[in-house]
Structure 1
Amino acid sequence: MSALEDHTDLREAAAAVLDAHGLVLEEVELGREGGMPRLRLVVDQPEDELGSADLDTVAEASRELSARIDADDSLLGPEPVLLELTTPGVERALTAPRHFRRSRGRLLALRTAAGTEHRARLLAVDGETLHLRQEPGRDDRGRPRKLPAGTAERLALRIDELDAARVEVEFDPPEDLEQLLADAAADLPGAGLAAPDTTTAENTAGTTATKES
């Protein structure tokens, strides 16, 4: 098996570079582009951090990793390879507990295995259980919708109950978001307290930095 196909040494080198920049390696994907091998590394923030990875930080990590690969043929072999570092982007599916921990405070679109759909804000993650506040959104005239009669505002779902989950893009999170997260953390010690940074726009497409090794 070639160094390009194995990934073991590359994963170790990438982990060291990413760790120095406060990032973690999520996935390694091997493909081809224009007849050249393309190696795509999906990176993100550690699971105890909220929000998306900083674009400049990803680009800086990409340059450093590319330089390391150029200097060491054992990582990908001697042939040219298109190396791409990218973030998952807001549309990525949430499947693992770490994905949800990073999404505390975010508005989620959820569908259970039974087919029930929820639009709810993730307040805390306690092990495999999500603690949410249902938010039905607004109607065509901008008026807040009400939950159906008899529907509880607070909701707890286990991750293994879900068939699909993703973050919804929003530019005006509730003003009481920090208090909501603080209250949830007080009720569930260890489930997370920090509020997401709501001062910047959503990173909807992910970040890509490429380098021909």
Structure 2
Amino acid sequence: MSDLDGQSAHTALRDAAVRILAAHDLVLEEIVVTGPRSMPEVRVIVDRPEDQLGSADLDVVATASRELSALVDEDDDLLGPDPVVLEVTTPGVDRQLTQPRHFRRARGRLLSLSADGTDYRARLLAVAGDDVLVLRQEPGRDDRGRPLKMPPGTSERLEIPAAEVTSAQVQVEFDPPADLAQLIADATPSKES
């Protein structure tokens, strides 16, 4: 299998990765092939399932990586007989959220996003029917660490269709709100409605 650039060349690897990742409660986000043909770099990007909050456990990712690497070493049908650099990784905080599934996985996270020419700093609490983002604006802190206030008349709660978001990215956060689980529970639509 010498054509790593073709989609069909990834089918066997994709199938093997999905099987191994499922055993570790991870999902395949995408496979990216870069580098020269003589030593291609294959990045297998993984994440947690949409219905789970938070980031993937890096120890679990490392275990899945070792298992996939061992399988690639054993089976030349996956990436061919020539050497390749295989990396199993998570999307990272620099990934742009572009698909509804990205937003569902980011529930509870603080985002910087733009929609209709307006920039927001808001926590994603839920993704409602028709992929509407339910957000709580959070103004952040000034350069001295003091809490900022939202301008008077600004609504704390936002509902923005995912299709109207022009850019969105998870923000690194060291101190999420203590009541995060309750905020998410209150914003999540019930299955009966």
* Correspondence for 1:184: 187
* Correspondence for 2:70: 67
Matches within 5 A, 1:29-178: 29-32=32-35, 35-112=38-115, 114-127=116-129, 128-178=131-181
TM-score of the aligned structures, taking structure 1 as reference length: 0.82
* Correspondence for 1:200: none
Gap regions ≥5 residues in structure 2: none
Distance 2:76 2:157 in 1: 54
Distance 1:58 1:163 in 2: 30
* Correspondence for 1:15: 18
Distance 2:174 2:83 in 1: 41
- Contact residue 54 and residue 108 of structure 2 kept, 8 A: no
Q: 1:123: Cα distance to partner?
A: 1.0
Q: 1:189: Cα distance to partner?
A: 1.2
Distance 2:127 2:39 in 1: 42
Please say which of residues 2-11 and 154-163 is displaced more in the overlay.
Answer: 2-11
SS at match of 2:71: helix
- Amino acid in structure 1 at the alignment position of 2:84: V
Distance 1:129 1:116 in 2: 17
Gap regions ≥5 residues in structure 1: 191-213
* Correspondence for 1:4: 4
Q: 1:35: Cα distance to partner?
A: 4.9
Distance 2:41 2:177 in 1: 41
Structure with more contact order per residue of length (Cα contacts < 8 Å, sep ≥ 6): 1
- Contact residue 4 and residue 75 of structure 1 kept, 8 A: no
Q: 1:122: Cα distance to partner?
A: 0.9
Q: 1:158: Cα distance to partner?
A: 0.7
The runs of 4+ residues in structure 1 deviating greater than 6 Å are none
Structure 1 residues 65-99: Cα deviation after superposition (integer angstroms, max 9, x where no partner): 11111211111111111111111112211111111
Q: 1:141: Cα distance to partner?
A: 3.5
Structure 1 residues 32-86: Cα deviation after superposition (integer angstroms, max 9, x where no partner): 1695111111111111111111111111111111111121111111111111111
Q: 1:143: Cα distance to partner?
A: 2.7
